[in-house]
Structure 1
Amino acid sequence: MTTYLLVPGANHGGWWWDPLVEKLQALGHVVLPTTPIGLDPAAEPPREAINLDDHVAQVTAALRVVPVQADTPAGRDVVLVGHSYGGSIISGVADAEPDRVRALVYLDALVPEDGDSSWSMTNEEEHAWYVSGSARTGAFVDPMPFFDDRARPHPLASLMQASKLTGAWRRVPVKHYVEATDWPGESPMAAMTARARGDEQFIVHSWDTTHNVMMHDGPDRVLSLIADL
């Protein structure tokens, strides 16, 4: 039995993982889909600034209350899966608790080094969205028009704050990166794909899918990748 901590991308919550959660649970795994602070569609809109540190602390706390599986090698019984912005979160969590994590899976996601932010890792198209999307509030980036109705304005500070990494996350023994190739132009994650391809610790996969890898056969693709990690 493995514990999967699933972290969504910007504007999204744990609901994004629903099709995958059911499949993993049917295999007997423990699945913890996370809704980052400030993105709960059932909660009141936040009034305070929320940054990347807050999201990393939230998911790290969730990992720390997971009971250690005594029969797992070296206590590594947790797989962290992050989509898009969620990659910055799982990197921070793995940096804080590298010896609890068996594998890191980045689904068309950010892969930060120390000092990187969502802004610094993405392209001008993404920057334009951060700017135009935050014009209404000055503090939160509104969802794209085609996002799910449950999507919520994303804390701008979490996209601008730099990751604080010691490098301990690199002790996690297994790292996968999925590149989504179905973009209308240059992918905002293109630099991340190149980074992963140039890093011998990563296994890189290219999927003919949109950035929203949960569409169509996405849950089955993700399941086939992570079910036996």
Structure 2
Amino acid sequence: MSEGEMVMATFVLVPGAFHGAWWFEPLARRLVAEGHDARAAELTGVGERVHLSSGTVNLDTHIQDVVNVIEYADLTDVVLVAHSYGGMVITGAADRLADSGRVRALVYLDAFVPQDGDSVWTLSPQVWRDRYVAGVGADGFSMAPPPFLTEPRVTSQPLATMLQSIALTGASDKIEHRHYVYMSAYEGTPFTQFRDRLSAEPSWTVHSLPFGHNVMSQCPDEIHALLLDVAIRVTTG
């Protein structure tokens, strides 16, 4: 696509558990350099805001974090993107914002796609539940990052974000552009359930990429290209 044909879009990027906005920053900077508006969301009690962690931080807190990013920056026509746990967050944010028309597209990168009443806990296999509980620190409310997350910037995360059930009205079903990106090389993935469910729904577009779960290190170019394609679909359709 030539420079004159470039579609300008607004992206809000929501990281997964134990990660801060820093995880999506390289992608955000790349999109901004191309002329897009792109910002990585900071979630309370995690990453850059780990100092705000407490027993009261839950899924609703993170949903409000993302809603505030969009409303206080007065963003419109947003492509809302999430990785892993972040899928819980953008689902809740989209539900709250759907009637405002601010969100035009949802992109789930190997992420949870809950229905009303679901939580990360109820959607996760027992092996992951055991890891969540095993990681609760001495304060009683913070999960330590799993040992396989070796990046030095990962932090603890409030356990309540995993345990709280999401309350949905179904309003986000009004959002026309909804994409699920399944990473087929993620061994032991808990996300096959979402690929299978959404593949049967005509209102969703399901993609499959032959990479593992850490998409920003394993396939950043493919994710970048996919987001630009979604932006084109939003603008032209």
Q: Same fold (TM over 0.5)?
A: yes
Aligned equivalent of 2:160: 157
DSSP-derived class of the 2:134 partner: helix
1:205 alignment partner, one of 198, 204, 207: 207
C-alpha change, 1:78 and 1:191, in structure 2 (3 Å) is same
Q: Is the 8 A contact 1:140 1:154 kept in 2?
A: yes
Aligned equivalent of 1:39: 46
C-alpha change, 1:180 and 1:136, in structure 2 (3 Å) is farther
The code of the aligned residue for 2:194 comes to M
2:104 alignment partner, one of 102, 105, 108: 102
1:54 aligns with 2:56: no
Aligned equivalent of 2:222: 221
Aligned equivalent of 2:87: 87
User: CA RMSD, aligned part only?
Assistant: 1.6
Of the structure 1 ranges 26-35 and 83-92, higher mean CA displacement relative to structure 2 is found in 26-35
Q: Is the 8 A contact 1:12 1:35 kept in 2?
A: no
Tell me the percent identity.
39
C-alpha change, 1:49 and 1:42, in structure 2 (3 Å) is closer
Aligned equivalent of 1:195: 197
2:174 alignment partner, one of 146, 171, 174: 171
Give the superposition deviation at 1:136.
4.3
C-alpha change, 1:119 and 1:43, in structure 2 (3 Å) is closer
Q: Return 5+ residue gaps in structure 1 as ranges.
A: 69-75
Q: Is the 8 A contact 2:109 2:182 kept in 1?
A: yes
Please list the CA deviations of residues 158-213 of structure 1 after superposition, one character each: whole Å capped at 9, or x if unmatched: 101011110001111101101111123x3111222222222221111111111111
2:31 alignment partner, one of 16, 24, 31: 24
Q: Is the 8 A contact 2:145 2:156 kept in 1?
A: yes
Aligned equivalent of 2:3: none
| Aligned pairs, number | 220
- Larger helix proportion of the pair: 2
Q: Is the 8 A contact 2:21 2:48 kept in 1?
A: no
The code of the aligned residue for 2:78 comes to V
Q: Is the 8 A contact 1:122 1:191 kept in 2?
A: no
Aligned equivalent of 1:71: none
Aligned equivalent of 2:148: 146
DSSP-derived class of the 1:79 partner: strand
DSSP-derived class of the 1:226 partner: helix
Q: Is the 8 A contact 1:121 1:191 kept in 2?
A: no
Distance 1:22 1:221 in 2: 16
Runs (4+) of structure 1 moved beyond 4 Å?
none
The code of the aligned residue for 2:113 comes to V
DSSP-derived class of the 1:80 partner: strand
Q: Return 5+ residue gaps in structure 2 as ranges.
A: 1-7, 232-237
Of the structure 1 ranges 164-173 and 38-47, higher mean CA displacement relative to structure 2 is found in 38-47
DSSP-derived class of the 1:215 partner: helix
With normalisation by structure 1, the TM-score equals 0.90
Aligned equivalent of 2:115: 113
